Structure 1
């Protein structure tokens, strides 16, 4: 478990020991912050028949499941009958899935006393699904617990949020985050959006190569073909491009960022960043988008923006 999750585990452990855990909890945070890890741990704790306490510091205790009892083994094998997971393989969670959850709680527990349900990426619920969940949240059955996770809490209905104990998962940034992964560096802005580069050496090398190529393209229109290949073919490329541009803007503002040979001014960089952000939004939100065409158009728009500003 990541160290930034320990305080939350301690808080929840205290609530459990005092029998004050609410029946609905919402773990919210940026992608990969650990919402799903917390949810799995909490559900396993609620179902375990032989809990033990783990000392992680001065007077800091965390309840841990034993991992050996019948319920733990069934839960870990995804076959525990008193737990239901709602994990959509589509872009939305429909009302039928939430109705199934409501019906699940109406039945008596098979093995233990508690029943649990997990709704991962709860922001994917349709309006009908969210309204159906509201009824279950408003009329909880005894010894029932609903855990929601999200990395887009702004998309959840306020009424859903208000009926849950909301727990924000806040990872560290900069040097503290690098230390979590035994990395070194002086980028004060590194965060979990860069997780792939932090944990995958190949991804880190690819990013640095792409960064150098983008700087060459912006400064002298060189490496266009290389930049285009990466934009069109690499999953992280549009996010990488935004990071490169943000770093260039920070560098111009006096922040200590890896040096570059960029000759663009702040206005040009902001205009290019806006173009990249708009393209990235299209890539994320449009159902059918031609990534190759989008990448070619973006580079053409960037070239036009630089030339039109009188820089070249």
Structure 2
């Protein structure tokens, strides 16, 4: 099916159309949400944008831009971006640091390198952590992120879990808490791609530690918990796609630690997205392959 009426998308490097999510009450209200890169507003280049729209006769209608990160940048990396609704109906989305690690992630007056929270209509929740901070971006929920390309809701606790790309080493899984600083680039378990260091520390007071990190990097993308009876004792496991090594990583979580990992669909291709369908089965989006249904042997 070809969907018409998409917004103009700024395609550069890692930018493009990045996520599509249905409102939790989609059957009643018809809203769907997309994250994409747009060249609208400030300066040349583009940045990550969140829009909601409705689908009528395979065409997007009633399009509303809810958030646009500024300023634009001509850099081609680290747009994010994933969208998740929590149990209370709040809309969360991620935007990467846009390749400007020393400026954006630690500055709450700037977009990029953040997890954001909005009401479903794009307004700012009254209890967002920085609503009373002068010049802060009021939509920010947490900061100090590099490039989160995985986000999901824990089916039992309702917590927001993310993963993000590190540089060379230091890909992370994090549980996102309101107002917290996740450290990038002040603390990291990775190094520059050249092998040189950009920081000497992995811990600092006031900065969150990851629940798990990968070294070497797996280049994570896509993320979902198994929450069904289709996979036996895998129920409750976390699934993370690997772009770099082209497999699905099954993570066994105990006491908020990854205690075991297993490669599934090894060699399937660059895994971009992981979702559990209404039927309880896991569906994996793979670049240049399509959608793969996960079956347990």
* Structure possessing the higher radius of gyration over alpha carbons: 1
TM-score with structure 2 setting the length: 0.23
Structure number with the higher strand fraction is: 2
Of structures 1 and 2, the one scoring higher in RCO (CA 8 A, sep 6+) is 1
